[in-house]
Structure 1
Amino acid sequence: MAVNQMNEMIQIKNISFLGAKVTPALIGFDQSLSVVCGASDTGKSFLVEAIDFLLGGKELRRIPELDGYDKARISIESSEKGLWTFERSIEGGNYRIYQGNIEAATDVKESGTIKMKHAAGREDNISGWLLGAIDLLSKYVRKNASGDCRSLSFRDIARLIIVNEQEIIRTDSPFLTGQYVPKTAEKSTLKLMLTGADDSAIVPADTSQQSEANDQAKAELLEQWIADVEDEVTEYGFGRKDLEEQLEKLEQSISSSREQLQLAQSQLYEMTTQRREIVKNREAIKDRKDDIADMLERFNLLKVQYVTDLQRLMAIEESGSLFVHHERAHCPLCGASPEVQHSTEECDGDVESIVIAAAAEMEKIKKLASDLDSTITALHDESARLSDDLIEIEKQFSGVDSEIKSAIAPELSDMQSNYSEFVDTRSRVISHLSVFTRLDKLLAQRDELFGDAEEVEAGDKKIATKLSTQVLHDFSKTVERILEAWDFPDTGSVHFDEATMDFVINGKLRGNRGKGLRAITHAAATLGLLEFCKERSLPHPGFVVLDSPLLAYYKPEGEGDSLQGTSLKQKFYKYLIEEHSDSQVIVVENEHPPGSFEGQLGMTVFTKNPQHGRFGLFPPRETQ
């Protein structure tokens, strides 16, 4: 495909970071296609941010690798102004400028300074210098529906040519930031790029400046709140639909987990109740055995007492019998002589009565001893049975206790842990969803107060930005041609939807595709704008920087978002090599280009290995 050369263009030769006590970090770029690829966390995406910062961006993200560096440089070659190097503190502020490409040299005298802040029609600032180099100085874009205009800044164009990893996957238009206040200026900037005509001819409508100022202040405040909430959404990396689906699944999981938990708790309660009954029975048996042991001990003492009493009574009986049959003599009790004894009368010394009484008592004690022996035998038998029962009940206890400890209790603990985790996750999801609720309220409030900035009602004095249907058709065909050349799946017809300021590809809005396909189609839109301007000799910086356009190859959202197995990667690089030899394209990617293109493009590989190749954007620090 033959294209016309743009009137004026600029190219980035290199950027560098310098510090008094650190090794300079310098990286150069090819005049056509440059690819920076390799390991993660090596500074690839930071490189894109640094290019934007050095071309007038407001702030440079602070990363640990920046420690020790205090300034950065970018060398730019302009077909209009020649080769210059711009130096800026990493904290921001104005620039020192040097004629030529000084790279990391420190003994070069500066040629002057330029300012960071844009000033209309002046080239003593970075924005004006760059605009002057591409014949866009002193151009104006409309900033509101009343027709008020402001001078074009290079920052208006920068986001159309430098696409970082967050921007390239956004669901919104590739040409809009998604913020309310600058939307009109962003549309006007795109119109300027596509037509070459600015808005300086517009005569503003007669409106109250104070009212407009108040409305603008309100809009800016709301926009800041909206931006803060959107940043919060971006920081957490969640989507409303994903969160709602996750919340629905969590509610189902919590309900199911609650039922399982209640069942497990019921089982545990039954088992613990059973164990408690077993323990109660076991203690009752042990108490009864202890009682039997105590009784046996007392009964043994009683048995000994019975034996002692029997022995004593037997002694009385035997002594009495001998005494009755012994010859008469003086009474051993009262000392009376035989002739005066009253043997026929009863007295305290009636031995025969004592013997009879002793014999009767012995019979009584023998009967009691016999009953005692029976009782002791019965108690021993009962104690033996209780011992057998105790062994059986101990087995029951061990079985139930083991089941509780090894099965039910751990299972219940896991269920409780899972349930708690589900509930905690649900709380986080609800908290995340509340962010979207806040965003909805802010957006509704903004729409209620201001409506659509581009809406034109009958009799209203608002002026709408309208793009030529033919221009949009031709622009769409340029993007369609690129996608076809890349062999993009499901290409079909491409047309530009002015309502969303985005492309509809084969009937499907570009922003509604997966993030990988959004990335590659965003790259096509960015390159399409460059080619459209080249074909018509319209002003354009002549270079683009793309961060992770081939995301669908190595990190797709799902099967429908994947380009693995297709030839798009091969044809993507082939197209850039063949069709952009006269314009500069800088691609930052994780994966290397196909090996078949070796030598046809400028490639820098960040290895993250201090012993092999280039470590990263910044050299590795020496360990002490």
Structure 2
Amino acid sequence: MYIESVVVSGPDRADAAVYFEKGANVVQGGSNTGKSYIVQCVKFALGANTPPKPINESQGYTTLNVKFVHDDGRSFTIERHLSESSKPTLYDEDGKVQTLGVKHNPTKMNSISNQFLDRLGLNGKLLLKGTASLNNASFSLRDFEKVFLMDETRIVAEYSPLGTGQKDERTMETSILKLLLTGKDDTGVKQAKKELASKGALRHRAAAVEDIIKQFYPGDDAAEALELQKLSSFTTQVKLRLKVAETELEGAFHSSEGLFTQKASHISELEVVEGKIAEDRALLGRFGMLGQKYESDRQRLQGIEQAAVLLDESDAVLCPTCGNHFDSESCTTDVDDIKKGVSFELERISKNLHELGEAQGSLAAAIERNTSTAETTKTSIAVLEKLISTEIQSSVQLVSDLKELASCLNQDHSALDKYVTNKAKLRGELKKLGVLLLEEQNKYTPESFEESAKPLVKEIQDILQRWSFPNHAPVEFNFKARDISIGGSARGNFGKGYRAIASSAFALGLMNLLKLSGRHPGFVVLDSPLTTYKEGDPEPEEDDEEVAADVIYAFYQDIADNFKDSQVIVFENKEPDMALIPHLNYQHFTKSRKSGRYGFFPLRG
């Protein structure tokens, strides 16, 4: 899923609209150009209670529309009036219109939160709020939004990206992360009190788990472990062979380098010839227009010549110049001079027409020759393309086959590994139930998920490495703080600039990981991940810092190169390097009334 557009409209107002694409999107501009207003619009469309903060430019605008598009092309739009009491209206893929509430209700589908989470398989999930009290809460879009829609306040916050910094939210933040990483919520907390109060219930549950193990996981552990080991070994061998095949394919490309060079040369020649043809045709057209003018002048002069003859033969008419008879001595006009002048001009025009005809013939011949040359060059290019295809086709096929085999092996390995893991979890559950049967405690113990956090840590570390983040390794997850540490330092201990970068890496790493299981919308919005000291601030704060130029360049390059199947929307004061702008969906708010787009809202008058 990705955001396609954010549009704010109002009576007698030109729409304020911004459009996004899949992949990297950057809206760059100075302060007070409406960037943060757009972020607030998205939050309001997703059910925030407070509409975007009014600004001078937003006066008269009354309605917000945000359009979302699924990866399969289906779309839905959320419309909402810009007032606190308004309810969002959802226009879905089938044209159905629903008026929704903003308060999450886990038992109904009448809120924007339910509708959105249902598309991700996360609706109806339960969070643990307190281990001692066994308090719980429904997982809502407000809880999830924190990690994919980071405004300029959250992105530099010292507290966990999963919460709001309140001490009483620590348990719930941990529960949120577990839900996102594993897909498992804390539904068990609802039943914990009843189950722990009755040993009979515990025995029944233990028997049920044991029955599940016997019925659905009857296999021999040793045989399954051996099969898993074989699959791992075979997968490794195929990966090694794939690496060799890819190297051979690269060699095939290198061996065909001469053919690529010839092709490029022919393409350059073709461009020159086609350019010459276009120029000659344009010149031929202008020559045709000039010939028409010459012909028009000749006809006019011929008319003058005929008129002079008639005047010469008649002495009854008056001279058009002096008004006297032609035989009058007072007439100063000499008809013979007129004839001679006209004759001279006709001769000159005939000569010009002759020379123009020769030039047109020469141009037509040149066009014909160049057209023939172009066709010959195109034929040569086609021959070279066929030779290149022949050179690398077998290598490409081998790489494709090995990739397909590797994919099948990975699927088999994953399925068996999941089978073995599920069995181990069930046995762990059975063991835990056995312990509870021996105890008389009324408590609920959340399931550990530390192993599930390791892929997230790796994703974040890989991103920080690509961004040239100083001392980016090792990245670790501190479950007590519900946050990451980088190079031994807690994220919250960095200055604002690098806190913002680290928060961005957390959000993007989490998206990369959760998209594999479909538990993420597929887009992340980052407000000012690179700028901490904003124009208009009275003075820099103590922990404001400039992010290094190489980190900024690597950040923009990475979101352009490695997030093409997702959507990253960056609102930023800092402009990307000019070389990277063609690879981004880039929109620049100039803050100038005289050039480009001033900001999100159209200027009036």
Normalised by the size of structure 1, how large is the TM-score? 0.53
| Deviation (angstroms), 1:88 | 0.5
Other-structure match for 1:65: 57
Cα deviations by residue, 1:231-290 (Å, 9 ceiling, x for unpaired): xxxxxxxxxxxxxxxxxxxxxxxxxxxxxxxxxxxxxxxxxxxxxxxxxxxxxxxxxxxx
Rounded Cα–Cα distance in structure 2 between residues aligned with 1:552 and 1:609? 23
* 1:571 is aligned to 2:554: yes
Give SS of 1:551's match. Answer: coil
Tell me, what secondary structure is at the counterpart of 1:567? helix
Work out whether residues 3 and 69 of structure 2, in 8 Å CA contact, stay in contact via their aligned partners in 1: yes
Q: Return the match for 1:43 from 34, 37, 53.
A: 34
**Given that residues 30 and 601 in structure 1 are in contact (C-alpha distance below 8 angstroms), is that contact kept between their aligned partners in structure 2?**
no
Map 1:272-421; keep pairs closer than 5 Å: none
Amino acid at match of 1:157: F
From 103, 110, 119, give the equivalent of 2:105.
Answer: 119
Kindly indicate whether residue 60 of structure 2 is the aligned counterpart of residue 91 of structure 1: no
Residue 533 of structure 1 pairs with residue 533 of structure 2: no
Q: Can you list the C-alpha shifts for 1:345-372, whole angstroms capped at 9, x where unaligned? A: xxxxxxxxxxxxxxxxxxxxxxxxxxxx
Aligned to 2:461: 480
Change (3 A) 1:552 1:615: closer
Q: CA deviation at 1:551?
A: 2.2
Q: CA deviation at 1:460?
A: 7.0
Alignment partner of 2:576 out of 568, 593, 599? 593
Shift of the 22–464 alpha-carbon distance from structure 1 to 2, 3 Å rule, reads farther
Opposite residue 26 of structure 2, the aligned amino acid is V
- Residue 35 of structure 1 aligns to a residue in which SS? strand
Q: Which residue of 2 aligns with 1:519?
A: 500
**1:153 maps to which residue?**
140
Q: Which residue of 2 aligns with 1:12?
A: 3
Equivalent in the alignment of 1:388: none
Residue 526 of structure 2 corresponds to 546
> Matched residues in 1 for 2:528 and 2:46: separation?
20
Q: Please list the CA deviations of residues 205-242 of structure 1 after superposition, one character each: whole Å capped at 9, or x if unmatched.
A: 549xxxxxxxxxxxxxxxxxxxxxxxxxxxxxxxxxxx
Task: Note if contact 2:27-2:571 (Cα within 8 Å) is conserved in structure 1.
Answer: yes
Shift in alpha-carbon separation, 1:195–1:84, aligned structure 2, 3 A: same
Q: Equivalents in 2 of 1:178, 1:560: separation in Å? A: 20
Equivalent residue, structure 2, for 1:175: 162
Q: Which moved more, 1:179-188 or 1:44-53?
A: 179-188
Code of the aligned partner of 2:573 = N
Match of 1:611 in 2: 594
Evaluate the alpha carbon distance shift between residue 150 and residue 176 of structure 1 in structure 2; reply closer, same or farther with a 3 A threshold: closer
| SS of residue in 2 equivalent to 1:603 | strand
- CA contact 2:174–2:479 (8 Å) conserved in 1: no
Q: CA deviation at 1:616?
A: 0.7
1:118–1:127 CA contact under 8 A, matched in 2 = yes
- The residue type equivalent to 2:90 in the other structure is I
Distance 1:43 1:465, change over 3 A: farther
* Secondary structure in 1 matching 2:519: coil
After superposition, give the CA deviation of every residue in 1:577-613 in whole Å (9 maximum; x if it has no partner): 1211000110010011111112211111111122221
TM-fit CA distance, 1:553 = 9.3
RMSD value, Cα: 2.7
Deviation at 1:79, TM superposition (A): 4.2
- Distance, in Å, in 2 between the alignment partners of 1:557 and 1:112 is 46
Aligned partner of residue 22 in structure 2, secondary structure: coil
Distance 1:603 1:40 in 2: 17
**Residue among 66, 70, 79 paired with 1:74:** 66
Q: Distance in 2 between matches of 1:460 and 1:65?
A: 61
**Local SS of the residue matching 1:599:** helix
Matched residues in 2 for 1:492 and 1:140: separation? 34
SS at match of 1:72: strand
Amino acid in structure 1 at the alignment position of 2:166: Q
Distance 2:161 2:79 in 1: 30
1:202 Cα offset (Å):
2.8
Report the secondary structure of 2:28's partner residue: strand
What is the deviation of 1:466? 5.6
Name the CA shift for 1:39/1:129 in 2 (closer, same or farther; >3 Å).
same
| Inter-partner Cα distance in structure 2 for 1:613 and 1:461 | 66
Residue 182 of structure 1, CA deviation: 3.8
CA shift digits 1:166-206 (9 cap, x unpaired): 11111111122112444433321111111111112334554
What secondary structure sits across from 1:76 in the alignment? strand
Cα offsets for 1:528-567 (capped at 9, x unmatched): 1111213x42511111000111126989867994333x41
Contact 2:175 2:185 in 1 (8 A): yes
Distance 2:445 2:58 in 1: 45
- Judge conservation of contact 1:96–1:114 (CA < 8 Å) in 2: yes
Query: For this pair of structures, how many residues does the alignment match?
Result: 354
1:89 and 1:192, CA in 2 relative to 1: closer, same or farther beyond 3 A? same
CA distance in 1, matches of 2:98, 2:191: 38
Check the 8 A contact 2:495/2:543 in 1, yes or no.
Answer: no
Q: Any idea what the Cα deviations from partners look like across 1:286-343, whole Å, max 9, x if unmatched?
A: xxxxxxxxxxxxxxxxxxxxxxxxxxxxxxxxxxxxxxxxxxxxxxxxxxxxxxxxxx
Structure 1 portions without partners, runs of 5+: 1-9, 102-108, 208-457
Q: 1:153 to 1:552 in 2, by over 3 A?
A: closer
Q: Give the whole-Å Cα distance in 2 for the aligned partners of 1:469 and 1:135.
A: 22
When residues 560 and 143 of structure 1 are mapped into structure 2, their CA distance, relative to the original with a 3 A threshold, is closer
Q: Does the CA contact (< 8 Å) of 1:546 and 1:586 recur in 2?
A: yes
Aligned equivalents of 2:586 and 2:472: distance in 1? 29
Q: Secondary structure at the match of 1:475?
A: helix
Letter in 2 for 1:94: K
Residue 463 (structure 1) shift: 3.7
The code of the aligned residue for 1:497 comes to N
The residue that corresponds to 2:585 in the other structure is: 602
Distance 2:552 2:116 in 1: 33
Q: Deviations over 1:92-115 (max 9, x none)?
A: 3212233569xxxxxxx9834222
Aligned with 1:133 (options 105, 119, 124):
119
Can you list the C-alpha shifts for 1:64-112, whole angstroms capped at 9, x where unaligned? 32211111111111347921211111113212233569xxxxxxx9834
Contact 2:533 2:544 in 1 (8 A): no
Q: Cα–Cα, structure 1 residues 181 and 21, in superposed 2: closer, same or farther, change >3 Å?
A: farther
Q: 1:189 to 1:14 in 2, by over 3 A?
A: same
Q: d(CA) in 2 for partners of 1:23 and 1:481?
A: 44
In structure 2, the CA distance between the partners of 1:488 and 1:560, relative to structure 1 (3 Å rule), is: farther
1:144/1:184 contact within 8 Å kept: yes
The one-letter code sitting in structure 2 at the alignment partner of 1:97 is: L
Within 5 A, what are the aligned runs for 1:168-207?
168-204=155-191, 206=193
- Paired residue for 2:18? 27
Instruction: Report Cα offsets for 1:505-544 as digits up to 9, x if no partner.
Output: 111111011111111011111111111213x425111110
